[in-house]
A and B are shown apart, each in its own frame.
Chain A
């Protein structure tokens, strides 16, 4: 038994508490950023580039300035004159100006900002900005961009945030801004040996198109000067990052920037790092004006996207059905600005061979500029794209080997204590448990009625692995109020995942508090302490650990105060739901009485704080190997039973079983909602969701054209399954879950389609058109 797993006496952890804001959400009373009362702000509307790659010969703002109600029209050249190279921001590369300077790199890039009294004059003026372009050749295809020019950036500009990117500074004549390499064993020799002895190799070219997050809340940022300070209210998952980025941009101290977030109306990775904040900050600071920017849906499509990715993959099994070699050449299309693409490239490259025991692995994963809107983090952080490859390959390998695809995976999956392809041991990642749970749920071993009129029925399964972001930092400040309610200060942002509720439960557990007794303060960098980011399913583990430590420190303080009052040693005092009691004297005191007595006043607060920081061993640049590349792993599996309509090409999912190893479920209802919600988003990626570009122009960038899963796309049945193999240092054994089931979702669907109609689809999504075309080809080749 791990010492970390003993629950407090609180009875909070593991309970299905209602969300702290459930009723306010249903009644529409919760205030998202754009719903908050603000000081009067001027509206900002952007003039955007109409060319994918062009030099800015001139930007004429005279006509725009003449529009009644316009206060200022600001260009990138003006901002560059004011801020210099600090205008170039980004989490991995300092390559993105908030308004184009000198040239534009994608259709829709902001060129000039109109600041006006109201949206009507702002919009009218934005249309009157006149831009002269000198067009440059553009590069739209990721492989063409990797092969050579035209070059999107003259030279690479790694940010100062990550020391390991330093060697890329100033590199010219390339669109490849980062390359991650993983080398283990000898893929060629092992593959050759195995095939010589009756083994099998499968290989394929895979493609995942770019997609969009489409959180229904639109991005919003307001900013204003308050003397020598800048205040920002923004839809951001990363308030601590934004504070640093804005302080660097403006050249002012951290305590001169106040960033407030708000509950987010969904995000999925869309609202993090540099979105509207650098622009709002630069405008408010340089023009000394209060501004607000509300992106339209069409503009939100331009702010960030999910990487399109090409993967050339292969896998070899020996005659006994053991995977002996795997390779992947991964190309991420990161668009015009790197954003966090280099990190995505590495984090997904690490797991591109899948969650299997493979001694020979070769991965090359590259992040490549093209003339498209920038791609950034999206639920899964690039891993769904490589999982699409390895889970399609392993399925074919099983079939070629004559072994059931679930059984084949079971033989090869990593177990507790095994060392993964990157050299880091596995712990609390029960792939086999997840696989067994989902296959059992869909009745994997029961007979299937395969032909049902024009319908063809099939089953498929897939497994996913992801490493949690490491190293990262979380802090928590806890105030226990004299009336025994508590106020928790953290910078984790609740965007629907339910972090406020999870953190309240973790805090309540050690302090024996009840539902509704812990209030979580919304992130405000003047008040709430540093937290790396709310992303990558990291908060339950990292912030949860900081909160647990702060709560345990609070409990210890209470025990000491009570011991003093009772005149007994602290070890004799116990905290219960009814207060504190001495085992020796049976004397009791409630928390309100204890704190009132200690401070001599009502309404007082007792404060504790705690930090939780994870560490890693950086991977070797040539081999990708590290004995500790991550703090922990996520493990998930999906099984699907579906029909393919051979006349319409439509896929209908009858049963979708999704499982994730969450270590320990702090709140099973919220865990099930993450498992199910990610799966529904994944159904879109599998069957229809994609951003379509034509010469760099988004073709379907409105919600009339961009298809999202609706209630009619639900499977007949969804079975979410919580697998718990506790993590030795997780808070009460817990880990996060936000991404777990989106990772293997698309390949599970495609594997079931393969089972139903005998066709392997290497390109997503599996649209009716693609399926009908493939069926016609299959018929023709008979």
Chain B
């Protein structure tokens, strides 16, 4: 069975035909979002993370048909001046880089919920994402730096 759905990815709406069993991961990759990647196929590594309405989802476990009309964000669609991206680059928060888009989106989700997370809160939020190269310290530092940057911007605005 194939169904026509409307996928909204990074603000762009498009009609796509998907099979009932097609995974969101497969469909997003098919339409060019190769920043979304398979690492385990069982929702245990976080490499396939996307944001659906701002909430992180393991797209390797998600059926595409369920995301008809749901606004989706992938790392490749973040704005050019995205602050989390910039802080990841500044903190050298990458080695092989394969898992990093997932961490970037997790950082966005956390900071939207909790603008000033402690290191322990950051770690708890990232627990389900695996960086096999072991770049965790840099990743946590990048998310902290983004929080501080947003805090400083808020202070400037209110001053």
Q: A residues near B, CB below 8 A? A: 18-19, 21-32, 34-35, 214-218, 263-268, 296-297, 495-498, 669, 673, 676-681, 702-704, 708-712, 714, 718
The A/B interface has a contact count, at CB < 8 Å, of: 155
A703 near B135 with CB under 8 A, answer no
Least CB separation from B87: chain A residue: A26
Judged by DSSP, the binding face of B is loop
Say yes or no for B75: interface residue by CB 8 A criterion: yes
Given A215-B132, A680-B136, A28 and B35 touching (CB < 8 A)?
yes
Say yes or no for B145: interface residue by CB 8 A criterion: no
A26 near B101 with CB under 8 A, answer yes
A217 near B44 with CB under 8 A, answer no
B85, B96, B122, B123: most-surrounded residue (chain A CB, <10 A):
B96
* B residues in contact with A35, CB < 8 Å: 29, 34, 37
* A residues in contact with B96, CB < 8 Å: 25, 215-217, 263-267, 495-496
A673 near B95 with CB under 8 A, answer yes
B35 near A29 with CB under 8 A, answer yes
Docked complex Cα distance between A610 and B85 (Å): 38
Given A27-B35, A266-B132, A704-B42, A718 and B137 touching (CB < 8 A)?
yes
B85 near A23 with CB under 8 A, answer yes
A18 near B89 with CB under 8 A, answer yes
Say yes or no for B78: interface residue by CB 8 A criterion: yes
Given A216-B132, A297-B40, A26 and B97 touching (CB < 8 A)?
yes
* B residues in contact with A25, CB < 8 Å: 94, 96-97, 100
Minimum CB–CB distance for A238 against chain B, Å: 17
| A-B CB contact pairs (8 Å), 11 listed | A34-B37, A35-B29, A216-B98, A217-B98, A263-B96, A265-B37, A266-B96, A297-B42, A496-B96, A673-B92, A711-B129
A711 near B40 with CB under 8 A, answer no
Docked complex Cα distance between A322 and B41 (Å): 53
A26 near B88 with CB under 8 A, answer yes
B127 near A712 with CB under 8 A, answer yes
* A residues in contact with B41, CB < 8 Å: 296-297
A32 near B85 with CB under 8 A, answer no
Least CB separation from B140: chain A residue: A711
One of A19, A216, A678, A714 near B99 (C-beta < 8 A): A216
* A residues in contact with B42, CB < 8 Å: 297, 702-704
B94 near A703 with CB under 8 A, answer no
* B residues in contact with A30, CB < 8 Å: 97
One of A26, A218, A268, A676 near B39 (C-beta < 8 A): A218
Interface string of B91-114 (1 = CB under 8 A from A): 011111111110010000000000
Docked complex Cα distance between A212 and B47 (Å): 18
* B residues in contact with A263, CB < 8 Å: 96-97
* A residues in contact with B122, CB < 8 Å: 711
A711 near B95 with CB under 8 A, answer no
A28 near B101 with CB under 8 A, answer yes
A216 near B39 with CB under 8 A, answer yes
A710 near B130 with CB under 8 A, answer yes
Given A28-B75, A218-B38, A265-B98, A669 and B92 touching (CB < 8 A)?
yes
* B residues in contact with A26, CB < 8 Å: 75, 85, 88-89, 93-94, 97, 100-101, 104
Interface residues of B in 32-65 (CB under 8 A from A): 34-42, 44-45, 47
A496 near B123 with CB under 8 A, answer no
A23 near B37 with CB under 8 A, answer no
Interface string of B132-155 (1 = CB under 8 A from A): 111111111000000000000000
Minimum CB–CB distance for B52 against chain A, Å: 17
One of A23, A266, A296, A703 near B98 (C-beta < 8 A): A266
Known A217-B96, A702-B44; further 19 A-B contacts with Cβ < 8 A: A18-B89, A22-B89, A26-B94, A26-B104, A28-B36, A30-B97, A34-B37, A215-B132, A216-B37, A217-B39, A263-B96, A263-B97, A266-B95, A266-B133, A497-B95, A678-B134, A710-B136, A711-B123, A711-B129
* A residues in contact with B126, CB < 8 Å: 710-711
B95 near A681 with CB under 8 A, answer no
Given A216-B39, A265-B37, A676-B134, A28 and B94 touching (CB < 8 A)?
no
* A residues in contact with B29, CB < 8 Å: 35
Docked complex Cα distance between A267 and B133 (Å): 9
* A residues in contact with B98, CB < 8 Å: 32, 215-217, 265-266, 496
* A residues in contact with B124, CB < 8 Å: 712
B76 near A677 with CB under 8 A, answer no
Given A26-B93, A27-B75, A28-B76, A496 and B133 touching (CB < 8 A)?
yes
